[in-house]
Structure 1
Amino acid sequence: MRLSFNMKFNAGLDGILNTQQKMNRAQDQLTKQTRILTPADDPAASAKVLGLDQNLEQVEQFQNNSVLLKNNLALEETVLTNMRTSIDRARVLAIASGNGAYTDSDKQAVAQELKNIQVELLDLMNTRNAEGGYIFSGYQDKTQSYTFNAATGIYEFQGDDGQKALQISPTIALPGNDSGKSVFENVDARLKTTPAAIVSGGATAATVSVTNQSRFDTFYKQTYDSLTPANNDFNVVLTAPSNYEIQRNGASLVPPVTGTFVPDSPIQFNGLTIEISGAAAVPGQVDFSLQPPEKKNILTTIGEFITALEDPTLSIFEFGEAISDTLTQVTSASSKIDSTLSTIGGRVNVLDSVFGTNEDLTINNKSYRADLAEVDYAAAITEITKQEIALEAISATFTKVSGVSLFDYIR
Structure 2
Amino acid sequence: MRLSFNMKFNAGLDGILNTQQKMNRAQDQLTKQTRLLTPADDPAASAKVLGLDQNLEQVAQFQNNSVLLKNNLALEETVLTNMRTTLDKARVLGIASGNGTYTSAEREAVAQELKNIQIELFDLMNTQNAEGGYIFSGFQDKKQTYSYNNATGIYEFQGDDGQKALQISPTIALAGNDSGKFVFENVDARFKASPAAIAAGGATAASVIVTDQSQFDAYFKKNYDRLTPANNDYNVVLTAPSSYEIQKNGAALVPPVTGAYTPDAPIVFNGLTITISGAAAVPGQVDFSLQAPEKKNILTTIGEFITALSDPTISNLNFNEAMSDNLVQITSAATSVDRYLSSIGGRINVLDSVYGTNEDLTINNKSYRADLSEVDYAAALTEITKQETALQAISNTFVKVSGISLFDYIR
TM-score category (smaller protein): over 0.9
Deviation at 1:222, TM superposition (A): 2.0
List per-residue Cα deviations over 1:122-141 (Å, max 9, x = no partner): 11111122222211111222
Give, as a single letter, the amino acid of the residue that structure 2 aligns with 1:8: K
How is 1:346-365 mapped onto 2 (pairs within 5 angstroms)? 346-365=346-365
Please state if 1:403 is matched with 2:403.
yes
Please state if 1:269 is matched with 2:269.
yes
Give the structure 2 partner of residue 309 of structure 1: 309
Deviation at 1:400, TM superposition (A): 3.0
List per-residue Cα deviations over 1:302-360 (Å, max 9, x = no partner): 11111111112211111111111111111111111111111111111111111111111
Q: 2: CA distance between counterparts of 1:106 and 1:145? A: 33
Give the structure 1 partner of residue 62 of structure 2: 62
Please state if 1:77 is matched with 2:77.
yes
Give the structure 2 partner of residue 31 of structure 1: 31
Give the structure 1 partner of residue 320 of structure 2: 320
Deviation at 1:367, TM superposition (A): 0.9
Q: Which moved more, 1:335-344 or 1:389-398?
A: 389-398
Q: 2: CA distance between counterparts of 1:386 and 1:178? A: 66
Deviation at 1:205, TM superposition (A): 2.1
Q: 2: CA distance between counterparts of 1:129 and 1:381? A: 54
How is 1:324-343 mapped onto 2 (pairs within 5 angstroms)? 324-343=324-343
SS at 1:70's partner residue? helix
Give the structure 1 partner of residue 191 of structure 2: 191
Give the structure 1 partner of residue 137 of structure 2: 137
Q: 1: CA distance between counterparts of 2:19 and 2:335? A: 78
Give the structure 2 partner of residue 378 of structure 1: 378
List per-residue Cα deviations over 1:33-57 (Å, max 9, x = no partner): 1111111111111111111111111
Deviation at 1:250, TM superposition (A): 2.2
List per-residue Cα deviations over 1:173-193 (Å, max 9, x = no partner): 111111111111111111011
SS at 1:169's partner residue? coil
Please state if 1:42 is matched with 2:39.
no
Q: 1: CA distance between counterparts of 2:300 and 2:33? A: 65
List per-residue Cα deviations over 1:93-129 (Å, max 9, x = no partner): 1000001111111111111111111111111111122
Q: Which moved more, 1:133-142 or 1:198-207?
A: 198-207
How is 1:70-219 mapped onto 2 (pairs within 5 angstroms)? 70-219=70-219
Q: 1: CA distance between counterparts of 2:189 and 2:210? A: 14
Q: 1: CA distance between counterparts of 2:344 and 2:251? A: 49
CA shift in 2, pair 1:200/1:313, >3 Å = farther
Give, as a single letter, the amino acid of the residue that structure 1 aligns with 2:136: F
Q: 2: CA distance between counterparts of 1:300 and 1:31? A: 70
Q: Which moved more, 1:366-375 or 1:147-156?
A: 147-156
Give the structure 2 partner of residue 239 of structure 1: 239
Q: 1: CA distance between counterparts of 2:40 and 2:241? A: 109
List per-residue Cα deviations over 1:344-397 (Å, max 9, x = no partner): 111111111111111111111111111111100111111112212222222233
Deviation at 1:204, TM superposition (A): 2.6
Deviation at 1:156, TM superposition (A): 1.2
Give, as a single letter, the amino acid of the residue that structure 2 aligns with 1:231: N
Q: 1: CA distance between counterparts of 2:256 and 2:371? A: 85
Give, as a single letter, the amino acid of the residue that structure 2 aligns with 1:213: Q
Q: 1: CA distance between counterparts of 2:396 and 2:303? A: 98
Q: 2: CA distance between counterparts of 1:210 and 1:300? A: 22
SS at 1:163's partner residue? coil
Q: 1: CA distance between counterparts of 2:315 and 2:241? A: 32
For structure 2, which runs of at least 5 residues remain unmatched after alignment? none
Give, as a single letter, the amino acid of the residue that structure 1 aligns with 2:197: A
Please state if 1:279 is matched with 2:268.
no
Q: 1: CA distance between counterparts of 2:64 and 2:125? A: 27
SS at 1:273's partner residue? strand
SS at 1:131's partner residue? coil
Give, as a single letter, the amino acid of the residue that structure 2 aligns with 1:326: N
Q: 1: CA distance between counterparts of 2:132 and 2:409? A: 91
Give, as a single letter, the amino acid of the residue that structure 2 aligns with 1:366: K
Q: Which moved more, 1:22-31 or 1:199-208?
A: 199-208
SS at 2:170's partner residue? coil
TM-score (normalised: structure 2):
0.97
SS at 1:255's partner residue? strand
Give, as a single letter, the amino acid of the residue that structure 1 aligns with 2:82: N
Q: 2: CA distance between counterparts of 1:331 and 1:274? A: 25
Deviation at 1:68, TM superposition (A): 0.8
Give the structure 2 partner of residue 393 of structure 1: 393
Deviation at 1:200, TM superposition (A): 2.9
Q: 2: CA distance between counterparts of 1:153 and 1:140? A: 23
Deviation at 1:151, TM superposition (A): 1.7
Q: 2: CA distance between counterparts of 1:91 and 1:214? A: 17
Q: 2: CA distance between counterparts of 1:225 and 1:370? A: 68
**RMSD of Structure 2 on Structure 1 (CA):** 1.3
Percent identical pairs in the alignment equals: 82
SS at 1:293's partner residue? coil
